[in-house]
């Protein structure tokens, strides 16, 4: 492998030595910026209910919350487009300045949310501006990760690239903690009523201090040695998008990076850090405080392993660790989530075994309830009963009814008829919903289905151990991924080429996981059926990655420029 030459100082990177002060500064600056970016995203997600009341007050509460979540989702949906915009700039004008632009856009957008007048003050302009700010944040995040990974990797010694870039992977966890601490501190200081009224703005406004620190540090950084060398030699790309995606030689590597690496990495990450929390709270009915504490504790235990597996990838390779993480996760998700039910809500486990439930419906009346935008309404009698069962964590089997039959659900010996809400007035729909919900609730309660997990029955050490295992899977697939993506592409189009598959994988494959999982559960009638989504994607990545992706550990990242 050839050595990497830095410009300016004329220094040559040694292959094996300790981390220099400049390299520590590079990692700190890149990681701090990414902490800040994720702080912003988690902040909005945590405060979605309050934001719904502030900016979407012109609709009913349920619709307002849906639109608030849509505004949140918009930030994930546009991430690949941010990867294209800022990846192109990063490959044309440099890593440092593009990297600086993304943090300014993200920070400015977040700060302005804290100042934005509510719906009651400026009407429809409030949600329009809010969504626009969310789109700007998503675009900035689309350019942030690729910039951080590229910048750190191009500063790292050849034999420590995995260890150096792994530090970036820890920052999503740190961003989550920071946002939760600021929210909790503000709520404690001023009280819930004041927080819901105006205090929710404080965490957004406080972000300006994080922005100032991040910008100051990034302004003091030098351009990456690889890009500076290439620019001095006049070899920068004039058309990064065309070179990245318009030429099959590179496009096929981009596609392989998506389906053979980032898609599987994304679903394993979202399952371990997001779906596990959703499963505890929504499916197992564990109270929010307990579920969040257990997830937070598992993240504290597991986060150092990002560095462990990143460093290990410098010795044995990136590919075997990522592929092993995808395979082991896919093979063990069902037993792990089944064990979570056993240790977190044994009463639910007992009910699932001993109280069979049957849905009788016309198959033509039943839709696959995939609803990524949150705007589609499922109004048939079959859809209503299946959504209720899925939300109540009740398994069921299906029986076919004659065409046109109104769906019903049988719990033990009790049969409850559903209803069609399409065409009903709001008042009639509400009355039928209330009657059905009451009858259904009484039936499943009598069958032994708990309304919530009994805190005294939660085996917290075992639940924590299982959640930590899920986080370890995350660290296996995520720790080495930045180094591997950097090493797959030449310097002249690296920022562009690696950013797009990363953000399609994480923004779309990963971001759609909760919605897809819920639709699968409602479709099949099995609380674990949603796990097939991450399992199939992870197995697909394992097969494609194993067969078609080459190990990159020993690649010369300065070659072919």
pLDDT at position 376: 65
Final residue of a structural domain among 416, 446, 476: 446
Which of 446, 481, 509 is where one domain is finished?
446
Domain count, the chain: 2
Evaluate whether 365 touches 382 at the Cβ level (below 8 Å).
Answer: yes
- Look over the chain and give the mean of its residue pLDDT values, rounded to a whole number: 84
List, edge to edge, every strand of the sheet that includes 397-400: 397-400, 357-361, 408-411, 414-417
Residue 491 lies in a domain: no
11 has a pLDDT exceeding 60: no
Q: Is residue 540 part of a domain?
A: no
Distance CA 384, CA 407 (A): 9
pLDDT band at 558 (very low <50, low <70, confident <90, very high): confident
Taking residues 489-493, what's their average pLDDT? 87
- 315 in a domain, yes or no? no
Q: Identify the residue with better confidence: 463 or 11.
A: 463
Average pLDDT over residues 200-226: 84
- Domain stops at, among 446, 478, 508: 446
Q: What whole-number percentage of the chain has pLDDT above 70?
A: 91
Note the pLDDT of residue 10. Answer: 37
Q: Which residues of 31-50 are buried (b: 16+ CB within 10 A; e: fewer)?
A: bbbbbbbbbbbbbbbbbeeb
- 58 confidence band (pLDDT: 50, 70, 90): low
Give percent above pLDDT 90 in the chain: 29
Report, as an integer, the average pLDDT of 494-505: 89
Higher pLDDT, 281 or 8: 281
Tell me whether residue 186 is in a domain: yes
Give the pLDDT confidence score for residue 61 in this predicted structure: 59
pLDDT of residue 561: 52
Query: Is residue 355 located within the same domain as residue 222?
Result: no
Could you tell me the pLDDT band of residue 14, with boundaries at 50, 70 and 90?
Answer: very low
What does the block give as tokens for 300?
Answer: 């504290």
Give the C-alpha separation, 266 to 21, whole Å.
32
| Residue, of 402 and 34, whose pLDDT is higher | 402
* Domain shared by 208 and 68, yes or no: yes
Least confident of 161-170, 173-182, 392-401, 544-553: 173-182
Q: What is the DSSP letter of 551?
A: P
Q: Which two tokens stand for residue 421?
A: 């809400």
Taking 80 as the threshold, does the pLDDT of residue 64 lie above it? Answer: no
Q: Average of pLDDT values for 151-162?
A: 87
CA distance linking residue 257 with residue 88, whole number of Å = 18
What pLDDT, on the 0 to 100 scale, is given for residue 106?
Answer: 84
* pLDDT greater than 50 at residue 533: yes
Say yes or no: 216 and 363 in one domain: no
What would the mean pLDDT of 222-248 be, rounded to a whole number?
80
Q: Which two tokens stand for residue 368?
A: 């696959």
Judgement on whether residues 98 and 224 belong to the same structural domain of the protein: yes
Residue 35's contacts (CB-CB under 8 Å, 6 or more residues apart) are 171, 174, 175, 178
* Pair 227, 356 in one domain: no
Least-confidence region, from 38-47, 182-191, 309-318, 550-559: 38-47
For residue 529, what pLDDT band results from cuts at 50, 70 and 90?
Answer: very high
DSSP 454-487: -GGG--HHHHHHHHHHHHHHHHHHHTTHHHHHHH
- Which CATH number does the domain housing residue 128 bear? 1.20.1250.20
What per-residue confidence (pLDDT) applies to 372? 58
* Alpha helix segments (H runs only) across 116-224: 119-122, 125-153, 161-169, 171-190, 192-194, 201-219
Decide if 119 is inside a domain: yes
- pLDDT band of residue 513 (cuts 50, 70, 90) is confident
38: pLDDT strictly greater than 50: yes
C-alpha closest to that of 287 among 434, 460, 440, 441: 460
Mean pLDDT for the stretch of residues 147-176:
85
* pLDDT value, residue 557: 80
Q: Structural domain of residue 410, as residue ranges?
A: 350-446
pLDDT at 548: 96
> Residue 327 domain-assigned?
no
Angle in degrees, CA 221, 170, 68, rounded to 5: 100
Residue 436 covered by a domain: yes
Residue 211 lies in a domain: yes
User: Tell me, what's the pLDDT at 18?
Assistant: 63
Mean pLDDT of 455-483: 96
The pLDDT, as a whole number, for residue 9 is 35
For 492, half-sphere exposure in the C-beta direction (CA atoms, 13 angstrom radius) is: 19
H-state helical runs in 220-303: 225-232, 240-245, 248-257, 263-270, 276-278, 288-302
The pLDDT value recorded for residue 2 is 36
> Which H helix or E strand runs over 432?
helix 426-446
| CATH classification at residue 405 | 3.40.30
Instruction: Work out the angle between the directed axes of helices 171-190 and 201-219 (0-180°, nearest 10).
Output: 140
Task: Give yes or no for residue 71 having a pLDDT over 80.
Answer: no
Neighbours of 428 (CB within 10 A): 12
Q: Given a cut of 90, is residue 477 above it in pLDDT? A: yes
pLDDT band of residue 433 (cuts 50, 70, 90) is confident
Distances (CA, A) of 222 to 95, 230, 235, 330, 372: 9, 15, 19, 42, 42
Tell me the pLDDT band of 459, cut-offs 50, 70 and 90.
Answer: very high
Q: Is the pLDDT of residue 222 over 50?
A: yes
Instruction: Give the model's pLDDT for residue 1.
Output: 37
Q: What is residue 362's predicted lDDT score, i.e. its pLDDT?
A: 84
Is pLDDT at 66 greater than 60 in this prediction? Answer: no
């Amino acid at each position: 492998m050839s050595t990497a030459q830095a410009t300016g100082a004329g220094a040559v990177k040694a292959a094996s030595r300790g981390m220099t002060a400049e390299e520590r500064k590079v990692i700190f600056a890149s990681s701090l910026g990414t902490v800040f970016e994720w702080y912003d995203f988690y902040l909005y997600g945590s405060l979605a209910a309050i934001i719904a009341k502030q900016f979407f007050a012109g609709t009913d509460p349920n619709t307002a919350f849906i639109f608030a979540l849509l505004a949140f989702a918009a930030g994930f949906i546009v991430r690949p487009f941010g990867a294209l915009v800022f990846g192109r700039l990063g490959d044309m004008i440099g890593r440092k300045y593009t990297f600086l632009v993304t943090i300014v856009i993200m920070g400015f957008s977040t700060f302005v949310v804290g100042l934005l007048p509510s719906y009651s003050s400026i009407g429809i302009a409030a949600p329009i501006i809010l969504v626009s700010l969310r789109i700007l944040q998503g675009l900035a995040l689309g350019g942030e990760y690729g910039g951080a990974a590229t910048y750190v990797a191009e500063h790292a010694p050849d034999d420590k690239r995995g260890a150096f870039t792994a530090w970036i992977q820890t920052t999503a966890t740190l961003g989550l903690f920071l946002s939760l601490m600021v929210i909790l501190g503000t709520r404690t200081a001023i009280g819930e009523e004041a927080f819901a009224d105006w205090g929710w703005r404080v965490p957004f406004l406080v972000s300006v201090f994080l922005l100032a620190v991040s910008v100051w540090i990034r302004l003091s950084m030098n351009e990456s040695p690889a890009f500076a060398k290439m620019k001095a030699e006049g070899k920068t790309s004039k058309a990064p998008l065309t070179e990245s995606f318009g030429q099959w030689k590179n496009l096929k590597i981009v596609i392989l990076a998506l389906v053979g690496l980032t898609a599987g990495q994304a679903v394993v990450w979202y399952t371990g850090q997001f779906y596990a929390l959703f499963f505890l709270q929504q499916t197992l009915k564990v109270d929010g405080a307990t579920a969040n504490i257990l997830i937070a504790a598992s993240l504290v235990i597991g986060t150092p392993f990002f560095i462990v597996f990143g460093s290990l990838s410098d010795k044995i390779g990136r590919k075997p660790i990522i592929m092993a993480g995808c395979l082991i996760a896919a093979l063990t998700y069902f037993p792990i989530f089944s064990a979570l039910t056993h240790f977190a809500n044994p009463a639910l486990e007992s009910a699932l075994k001993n109280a069979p439930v049957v849905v009788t419906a016309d198959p033509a009346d039943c839709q696959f309830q995939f609803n990524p935008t949150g705007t589609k309404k499922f109004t048939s009698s079959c859809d209503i009963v299946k959504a209720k069962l899925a939300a109540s964590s009740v398994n069921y089997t299906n029986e076919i009814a004659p065409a046109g039959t109104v769906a019903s659900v049988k719990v033990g010996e009790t049969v409850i008829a559903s209803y069609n809400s399409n065409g009903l007035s709001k008042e009639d729909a509400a009355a039928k919903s209330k009657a059905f919900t009451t009858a259904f609730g009484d039936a499943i309660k009598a069958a032994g289905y708990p309304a919530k997990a009994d805190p005294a029955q939660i085996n917290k050490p075992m639940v924590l151990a299982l959640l930590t295992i899920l986080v370890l899977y995350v660290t296996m697939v995520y720790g080495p991924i930045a180094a591997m993506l950097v090493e797959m592409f030449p310097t002249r189009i690296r920022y562009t080429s690696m950013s797009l598959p990363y953000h399609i994988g994480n923004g779309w494959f990963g971001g759609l996981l909760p919605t897809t999982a819920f639709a699968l559960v409602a479709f099949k009638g099995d609380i674990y059926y949603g796990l097939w989504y991450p399992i199939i994607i992870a197995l697909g990545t394992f097969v494609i990655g194993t067969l078609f992706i080459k190990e990159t550990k020993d690649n010369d990242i300065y070659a072919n420029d």
